[in-house]
Amino acid sequence: MPLQKPYTHKLILAALGIIVIILGVMILLYPTSLFPDPSWGFQVMRKMQMGSGFNMAVKPDPADVAKDYSEFLSWWSPGQYLVPYFFKSILSINTGRAAAVTTIVFTLLGLAGFYSFFRKAGFTATIAAVSVAVIACQQGFVVPYVFYNGGEVLLFGFAGWFLYGCVAIDKTGWKLAVFLLLSGCIGFFCKSSFLWMYGAGCFYLWLKLSAGNTAVVAWIKKGIWIGIPAAISLAIIYVFYLSKGINPASGGMGIKLTWETFSFPLASPLLAGFSLDDILHGIILHNDVSIFSPFWSLVTLLLSAVVSILLIAAITRYVPNKSYSRMVIVFYVVSVIFFGYNFLRQANISYEARHLRIIGLLITPGVVYLISRLNVSYRLAFGLVCFGIAFLSFRYFLPGYRQNKTVSARGTSGLAQIFIDQPSLNYIMDLDKKNSNALFVFVSPDLGLEINHNRIVTLDPIDSDIRIDYDDYAHKGHAGPIFILLPASYMGPKSNIIRKCFPGYKGFKMDMLSNDYVLYSAK
């Protein structure tokens, strides 16, 4: 019997749910490794478990390592570690499995949220289901099943519901006020970069609710209904979080205009919506061996920007739901202004498409709708493109998962540790058990999560040019024994530099823990 169309979307959604559950079971059995950002958050969680205050990073004082100093961790939003902390507490599981549960829950929330948003935006059930399937093909979807990426997966779980609320609300009133007040705080809790999306959402709501009114007073009244709860939400975020420390947008290195400054956000529909940035190993900021030379990377970026603009124009022209088209335009323009401005002033925001993923997610049903109107050859070509992206995503996931399962070391956190081998980690954990006033020094923030009885110092890795600012590395004073774990590649000048950064300690002893890692210790 031929498949009936009314059931197509249900089959797609059921298949996606099964895939997520299978992936979830896999990472529950063998939890993922960590991106550096949530590693810092988990260090805060570790201190909170030991009795420190909320969101306080407690570290040995560089001026005197015998003392501690505390700083409020405002660089990243707290959800990246508080949500796993919640699951860890109520389920009595380790950090690795708590991160796995977080990934599963927020992946399912994200798929459900975007499907609901696409339906509310006027797309058919089949187009909405195909759209979330296209989203699931992207590398960004499988990344948290290899590396727990904290705010990225949390934002995916919330963003679709935020967009759904923006589309669903069609008049001013208490529902609008509560929605804006809560969504600002919840979105920021998930990931701090949500704030620009929040601003775009507020602007979209203002245009949507004011459409058809020619009187200026009516526009002002609508703006007040939106502006007051939004201002309260932003004030709460600023007073209780951002004002307590620095964040990626709080500084800059001066104005620098390049071709990439505005072309990168302009190209976001292709870079983020079709994994182009991931497939090319980072078109500007390379996360692996670069595929193109700098010249051809720039050419590809500029062409992607042109195609992306044409794609946005086609969506806004041919998709019948003009409210959805308006949202696409608003978010796209706001993203170009926000990221272009921050790239221009060289703020601490990297040229990575993951920062603009919301644009790729937002345009997906528009692209699927456009393709559905073309003849079968174009639809087949689009299917092959999606299949190719899915294949590359699977090729990214499989070796990463195998690495986490069979190669990476595991300690008490349960996380896969990729910057140490098992014999070396066992030795470090044994030292941790035998000491109570020691300093453990690492050049990777995730390794400190395996230290449960002593204090840790995390230094930035030293680049190949072996140039550092001594003041950023120096830790003076003395406080019990010190254990410095370094890759074997650091033996020589790099290890000498790091040991000199602890002038209170002399007579270091070197132990080769394995072929790849060396331990320097002093009492």
Identify whether residues 429 and 504 lie together within a single domain: yes
Same domain, 356 and 424: no
Q: Residue 303 falls within a domain, yes or no?
A: yes
Q: Position 101: which residue type?
A: V
Question: What's the per-residue H, E or C state across 192-254?
Answer: CCHHHHHHHHHHHHHHHHHCCCCCHHHHHHHHHHHHHHHHHHHHHHHHHCHHHCCCCCCCCCC
> Per the domain annotation, does 333 fall within a domain?
yes
Query: Which of 153, 391, 420 shows the shortest CA–CA distance to 278?
Result: 391
- Return the pLDDT at 433: 95
In angstroms, the first-to-last Cα distance of the chain is: 78
Helix axis angle for 95-120 and 36-49, nearest 10°, is 120
Whether residue 426 is found in the same domain as residue 497: yes
Measured distance CA(241)–CA(312) in Å, rounded: 36
Q: Is 409 helix (H, G, I), strand (E, B) or coil?
A: strand
Q: Taking a C-beta distance cutoff of 8 angstroms, is the pair 37, 150 a contact? A: yes
pLDDT value at residue 250: 66
Distance CA 68, CA 62 (A): 9
Q: Would you tell me how many other CB atoms lie within 10 Å of the CB of residue 29? A: 10
pLDDT < 70: residue spans in the chain: 1-5, 249-252
- The conformation of residue 293, written as its DSSP 8-state character, comes to -
Q: Is 239 exposed, middle or buried (0-12, 13-18, 19+ CB in 10 A)?
A: exposed
Note whether residue 319 is domain-resident.
yes
Would you say 137 and 386 are in contact if contact means Cβ atoms under 8 Å apart?
yes
Backbone angle region of 477, left / alpha / beta, with phi > 0 → left and psi within -120 to 50 → alpha: left
- Report d(CA 202, CA 222) in Å as an integer: 11
Handedness of CA 170, 175, 181, 187 (dihedral sign): negative
Instruction: Tell me what pLDDT residue 1 has.
Output: 35
Which pLDDT score is estimated for 30? 96
Among residues 360, 379, 397, which one ends one of the domains?
A: 360
**What is the residue whose two structure tokens read 């393709």?**
371
Q: Are residues 259 and 337 in the same domain?
A: yes
pLDDT at 469: 83
Same domain membership, residue 356 and residue 256: yes
Pair (355, 442) in one structural domain = no
Residue 387 in any domain: the answer is: no
CA 354/CA 153 separation, integer angstroms: 11
CB 150 within 8 A of CB 76: yes
Could you tell me if 442 and 458 are in contact, meaning their C-beta atoms sit under 8 angstroms apart?
Answer: yes
| Domain-ending residue, one of 360, 377, 395 | 360
Distances (CA, A) of 387 to 146, 358, 366: 20, 21, 19
pLDDT in tens, 360-374: 999 999 999 999 999
Instruction: Check whether residue 282 and residue 354 sit in a common domain.
Output: yes
| 13 CB-near residues (< 8 Å, 6+ apart) | 111, 115, 129, 132
The span from the CA of 26 to the CA of 11, in Å, is: 23
Q: What is the maximal distance between C-alpha atoms in the chain?
A: 80
Residue 462 lies in a domain: yes
CA 340 to CA 266: how far, in whole Å?
9
pLDDT of residue 2: 40
Single-letter residue type at 204: Y
- pLDDT tens digits for range 112-127: 999 999 999 999 999 9
Are residues 429 and 514 part of one domain? yes
Q: Are 448 and 34 in contact (CB under 8 A)?
A: no
What is the predicted pLDDT for the residue at 251? 64
Q: Is 292 a domain residue? A: yes
Q: How far is CA 495 from CA 442, 458, 468, in A?
A: 12, 15, 13
Tell me the C-alpha distance between 422 and 113, whole Å.
Answer: 40
Q: Which pairing describes strands 509-512 and 482-487: parallel, antiparallel, or unpaired?
A: unpaired
The predicted pLDDT at position 252 comes to 65
Residue with tokens 């058990």: 433
Last residue of a domain, one of 360, 388, 406: 360
The rounded distance, in Å, linking the Cα atoms of 337 and 520 is 49
Judge residue 291's burial from the number of C-beta atoms within 10 Å of its C-beta, 0-12 exposed, 13-18 middle, 19 or more buried.
middle
Instruction: Count the domains in the chain.
Output: 2
Tally DSSP H helices, then E strands, for the chain: 20, 11
In a domain, 309, yes or no: yes
Tokens representing 204?
Answer: 């979209």
Domain of residue 336: give its range. 250-360
Alpha-carbon Rg for the chain, nearest whole angstrom, is 25
- Looking at residue 232, its pLDDT comes to 97
Residue 438 counted as domain residue = yes
Q: What is the model's pLDDT at position 3?
A: 40
